[in-house]
Amino acid sequence: MALISTSTYEPPRLLTNGHLQTILPALFRTVNDVQYDREKIDTDDGDFLDLDWTKMNSCRLVIISHGLEGSASKNYIRGMAKAMNDAGWDALAWNYRSCGGEPNRLPRAYHSGATEDLDAVVRHALKLGHYSQIALVGFSLGGNLTLKFIGEKGSRLDSRVVAAVVISVPLDLASSSRRISNSKIYNERFLSSLCKKIRAKAAQFPHEIDGEKLSRVKTLWEFDDTYTAPMHGFKNAEDYYRRCSSKFFLKTIAVPTLIVNALNDPFLPKECFPFNDIQPLKNVWFETPKYGGHIGFMRKGGGYWSESRTAEFLTQWMSNA
């Protein structure tokens, strides 16, 4: 629908470095006054998902999907839930398999294209019968998941799901994985958490998962090639990235959708900015602030622009729905 290059985002003075904009909120942000009510739902394959709710007795719901090795407890998720509560929405922040504080039941885990789990969460919310309008919000991996989900559904998406906002999205998974793998700080941070979970899974499922291969895994790409891909039915990392990259699902999106990727995001190379592919799409807006980092967007004067921008976009389209 539109390429938005003149974004309203203004960073704090002297805070324009993409790495600092990424790291500082992750390390130092705290969000108070968010009290979740947890619900556990079963999946069709015999596993479970943990859902964390903050309710305002609203007929509108936002479903929030976190990033790689995140959870509903991360401050960027809590901040978005609080911002949407303040705007009068109920919020549901769901945890991917093994991300809610307890291991899941099956050898498999989660990945960037596991839309069956987001589908289970959306179907559960719809079955409650409380919500006339539902919006989807996703960060990073969760943004990729959200775009793939609504793109797969296309015109078959339930009419009560009326809009989406995704932030800091690796639209091209292969190039983003390569970028992260080449960064000592980011690569080691993700690998530390991912490898810890694989060790636990290998102990729980020794015949399905070979923990000995971990010694050869040095990068995120190698982790996906060794574990993520084969655990979830892909030939290798390249096949996984190709089949799950959300940029291939944008054409069939049928609801108003805002993608926000900062030009200085250290996780996103040029392949994650497919301007020419997005420009002709009638339901997708692509906003590319000059600054913001990865899930940063600290705002000049305080607060987080990503949250106010999300509320603004969704409120606009909910009013028009």
Catalytic residue list: 140, 265, 294
Spatial CB neighbours of 40, under 8 Å, sequence gap ≥ 6: 48, 49, 50, 51
Neighbours of 248 (CB within 10 A): 16
Candidates 231, 211, 200, 226; CA nearest to 103 is 200
DSSP string over 217-252: --SHHHHIIIIIHHHTT-SSHHHHHHHH-GGGGGGG
Give the integer Cα–Cα distance in Å for 164 and 150: 9
Candidates 80, 92, 90, 82; CA nearest to 32 is 82
Give the integer Cα–Cα distance in Å for 132 and 161: 9
Residue pair 266/278 in contact (Cβ under 8 Å)? The answer is no
Residue pair 265/292 in contact (Cβ under 8 Å)? The answer is yes
Angle in degrees, CA 188, 200, 75, rounded to 5: 55
Candidates 92, 257, 110, 73; CA nearest to 171 is 257
Residue pair 252/157 in contact (Cβ under 8 Å)? The answer is no
**Greatest extent of the chain over all pairs of C-alpha atoms, in Å:** 55
Residue pair 140/170 in contact (Cβ under 8 Å)? The answer is yes
